[in-house]
Amino acid sequence: MALIDTINPLLTTGWAKGDAGWGIKEYEARGGYRQLRRVLESKMTQDDLIAEVKKSVLRGRGGAGFPTGLKWSFMPKAAPVKYVVCNTDEGEPGTFKDRDLMRFDPHAVIEGMIIAGYAVGAKAGYNYIHGEIFETYQRFEEALDQARAAGYLGNNVLGSEFSFDLFAHHGWGAYICGEETGLLESIEGKKGQPRYKPPFPANFGLYGKPTTINNTETFAAIPFILGMGGEAYLNLGKPNNGGTKLFSVSGHVNRPGNFEVPMGTPFSKLLEMAGGMRGGRKLKAVIPGGSSAPVLPAEIMMECTMDYDSIAKAGSMLGSGAVIVMDETVCMVKALERLSYFYYEESCGQCTPCREGSGWLYRVVHRIEHGEGRPEDLDLLNRVTDNMMGKTICALADAAAFPVRSFIKHFKSEFEYHIENKKCLVDPETQRMGSGFFKAGAV
């Protein structure tokens, strides 16, 4: 089970009982579905509901940080058929918060999606669930059955005029389906290749109908926002960065896991909550927002607070909230090689700059790591990324470029050492022991 620790728990209040707290009875006992009931019984208008979400300054938790209320307001009012889609494709390396939300509090996601459906005038929704988490998908199906039996889903929700049904769609191993239009293609039963934008999903989404798509954590926050009011939620965080956020901390810490903290919490505090550095070793670098975010060296990271604006100012992105912590046993060239392989492997291949560029990045970093680097390689890598960024259908090409540029920018001497000496700056035995897999002296 995931370790959790929180300041001002909101999203994680339901996690305390672990696997025993996910059911509908438990959810209702902690106030669940009360907000949906209030919205329906008071016949709240769609505009008032969206205004409340705008007030909270909730920003999308899937990576781009787009204001949720604003996104909802883009949905055309008159369209007869509309959809709400939840993105639980969580495949961004380092991110594992949506899985825990779905395991420990699936009804919060369901309630958030129903309320969103009411706000934008949709009668049906889909939750797209990452292929690798079958057990979580199964539990979500069970939760849907419970919600249907209790009258929260189906025709005339809680006896109101409003009808809404919700279904789970299970992915089967493709990172690119996390991109919202790739995801919609995938629900339509096709290859998950992203679409040109515009048109945006709010106008042309699932089956060509207006569609609102949000991340799991975004939907799960909705009942809490309505419960406390948009303004109170905003005030939990800091201006322009409303509320609390889940951070998935992985890598070289004593207690990897999910931590819910108010936006604006110092990184040093988050690191402390995660038990500090494993073996008391020295922090070297942090990727603060999932593998697609630029890496930051320890000294810069230790000055940051965990919110969109602070991390952006430091030259990276809060992204999905996946905080990948690396200590001094890491060879930065090898770390980058693995990330570059990932983007090369997961590029869907329809844009030449991404398909070819991601292959070039991987092969060049690979040859540096394997002692065959050339002095001109670092310039070559930067040039390849220039030809990828902003030149493709979706942001995967940028996601492949950011790590390369930032690793070279902040750890250039380590790359140069590799090219000159044909080996890692960090000695191989130190690297080997860093993972904690091998006990000292054993195997």
Ligand X SMILES: Cc1cc2nc3c(=O)[nH]c(=O)nc-3n(C[C@H](O)[C@H](O)[C@H](O)COP(=O)(O)O)c2cc1C
* 3-state SS string for 6-18: ECCCCCCHHHCCH
Binds ligand X (CB under 6 A): choice among 5, 52, 105, 180: 180
List CB contacts of 358: < 8 A, sequence separation 6 or more.
340, 343, 344, 347, 388, 397, 400
Binding residues for other proteins, how many (CB under 8 A)? 63
186: contact with other proteins by CB under 8 A: yes
95: contact with other proteins by CB under 8 A: yes
Q: Which stretch binds other proteins (CB under 8 A): 302-310, 319-327, 352-360, 388-396?
A: 319-327
218: contact with ligand X by CB under 6 A: yes
391: contact with ligand SF4 by CB under 6 A: no
443: contact with other proteins by CB under 8 A: yes
- Residues 103-132: x where in contact with other proteins by CB under 8 A, - otherwise, as a string: -----------------------x---xxx
Binds other proteins (CB under 8 A): choice among 53, 114, 187, 333: 187
Rounded Cα distance between 270 and 5, Å, is: 10
Beta bridge partners of 238: 241
Q: Which amino acid is at 411?
A: F
Crossing angle of helices 396-410 and 332-346, in 10° steps, is: 170
Binds ligand X (CB under 6 A): choice among 14, 32, 91, 256: 91
Rounded Cα distance between 331 and 335, Å, is: 6
Reading the block at residue 392, the tokens are 């493709």
Write out the binding residues for ligand X, residues 378-417 only, by CB under 6 A.
394-396, 399
Phi-psi region of 245 (alpha: psi -120 to 50; beta: other; left: phi over 0): beta
Strand order from edge to edge, sheet including 124-129: 165-170, 124-129, 83-88, 211-215
Reduced to 3 states, what is the DSSP secondary structure of residue 287? Answer: strand
Binds ligand SF4 (CB under 6 A): choice among 124, 236, 246, 397: 397
66: contact with ligand X by CB under 6 A: yes
Rounded Cα distance between 248 and 98, Å, is: 10
Q: Which does 355 bind (CB under 5 to 8 A by kind): ligand SF4, other proteins, ligand X, none?
A: ligand SF4
Angle at 246 between CA 240 and CA 247, to 5 degrees: 105
Q: Which stretch binds ligand X (CB under 6 A): 8-16, 56-64, 296-304, 363-371?
A: 56-64
Q: Which stretch binds other proteins (CB under 8 A): 69-77, 104-112, 171-179, 369-377?
A: 171-179
Q: Which amino acid is at 216?
A: T
Alpha helices in 44-201 (DSSP H): 46-56, 68-73, 97-104, 106-120, 134-149, 180-187
Give the residues lining the site for ligand X (CB under 6 A): 60-64, 66, 87, 89-92, 176, 178-180, 213-215, 218, 394-396, 399
Give the residues lining the site for ligand SF4 (CB under 6 A): 176, 194, 347-351, 354-355, 392-394, 396-397
Give the residues lining the site for other proteins (CB under 8 A): 2-3, 90-96, 98-99, 126, 130-135, 167-175, 186-192, 207, 248-252, 256-258, 291, 322, 324-326, 330, 335, 338-339, 342, 345-346, 432, 434-438, 442-443
